[in-house]
Structure 1
Amino acid sequence: MTRPAAPARRRFLYAALIAGTLPGVTVSLAACASPTFPFMPSHYTFSQQQVQEAVQRKFPSQRTVSQVFDVALSNPVVGMQPDANRVSVRLDARFASPFLQQPVDGVFTLSSELAYDAASRSVILKSPSVDNVSVNGEAQVYTQQINAAAALLATQLLTNYPIYTFKPEQLQFAGVHYEPGTITILTNGIRVQIVEK
């Protein structure tokens, strides 16, 4: 008795989906679908944690800047700045120099806009800039030089650095090619619009 009921129930649900009588289901599918193909998402969203993991792969890092400062950077913490549509990265820094009696610790924060690089199919950090540098003790005398060193280092390390790379199959469907459009920073992630080429 129960066997015929299960296929009948499945047929009913299938018919209801096709007819659009289950609006909660069809709306949620349509919210992610492109107008051209119902199975191609109109956008991809990746989380702050995914960005954190991508940036973390770059650190720790140690560089000599302008042959004056040895700078060690570690412990990146990624933040979202939706109001400015930028991503921030806070880094612990350790500075050593012949001008300093001993290495000093500090923190600097940079922020960056995002862009799409078609050659690598990646969302990249674009034009990062240093927002704030804080150092301890005697290094405060050299704040201007440390700011310049931090800015140079940020440019060297993170300009065009990929934080998310699309797989080829994410950008094509039924012979039609797509590409990322508008990139929007959310409070807890990044949304990338997908548009037809």
Structure 2
Amino acid sequence: MTLTSLPRRRLVALASTIVVGSLLAGCGTLSGPRQVEIPLAKLQAGLDRRFPMDNRLFDLLDLRLSHPRLSLLPETDRVAIGLEAYIAPPFMQQSFTGTLALSGRLYVDATRGAVFMSEPQVDSFTLSGIDGARQQQLAGAANKLMSKLVRDIPVYNFRMEDLRYAGIQFVPTRLVTTRTGLQVTLEPQR
């Protein structure tokens, strides 16, 4: 029996079944894991919105961090953030300016729909007008402060509409640092 010998109704039914089956098979791939890239510029814009940041250290120093500069370190799966620092002891008339550089590993918190930094480490902390021994003491205090600060500050927030595709809600589950941004794995919400 050939296709031309089939009655027209059966031929239409067979063609319809093939088309519907193909569409359903295509939908199956829509609901599987997806990979999306968040470019460095988008990550930087998200970080820029969170600064400047003011903190008081041990009731002794007012610290202002501003102008974050994010860079990616894909070979170690980490990111680095350079910041301008301004320190003013409230009991002194003098203030100090300098730079703070820290690095850490990024992770996804699916329940909060955001990317956070873990394992923060102060790589350098320099202030003008302060001797080397004092700078080392301040770097130690900055390391402790940064581990508390970055734990609660998202580097990037996902918008819920960005996590919805073809009527399916996705959640971020994994990320990898690349040369140009973050590659995020999204999986259907269960």
Cα deviation code 1:140-173 (max 9, x no counterpart): 3311321123223323332132233334454455
Counterpart selection for 2:175 from 165, 168, 183: 183
Residue of structure 1 in register with 2:96 after alignment: 104
Normalising by structure 1, we get a TM-score of 0.70
For 1:164, the equivalent position in structure 2 comes to 156
Post-superposition Cα deviations, 1:166-191, rounded to whole Å, max 9, x if no partner, equal 34454455676543233111112111
**Cα 1:41–1:137, aligned 2, differ >3 Å: closer, same or farther?**
same
1:46 aligns with 2:42: no
Report the TM-score when normalising by structure 2: 0.72
When the two chains are superposed, the root-mean-square deviation of aligned CA atoms in Å is: 2.8
Bigger RCO of structures 1 and 2 (CA < 8 A, at least 6 apart): 2
Aligned residues: 164
Alignment of 1:1-197 (within 5 A): 36-38=28-30, 42-97=34-89, 102-171=94-163, 178-196=170-188, 197=190
Whether contact under 8 Å (1:127, 1:159) holds in the other structure is no
List gaps (5 residues or longer) in structure 1: 1-33
Moved more, 143-152 or 162-171: 162-171
Change (3 A) 1:175 1:62: closer
Q: Distance in 2 between matches of 1:101 and 1:142?
A: 18
Unaligned runs of 5+ in 2: 1-25
Flag the 1:162–1:37 CA change in 2: closer, same or farther, 3 A: same
Q: Take 2:137 and 2:121, find their aligned partners in 1: how far apart are those partners?
A: 15
Letter in structure 2 aligned against 1:187: R
Indicate the structure (1 or 2) with the bigger Cα radius of gyration.
2
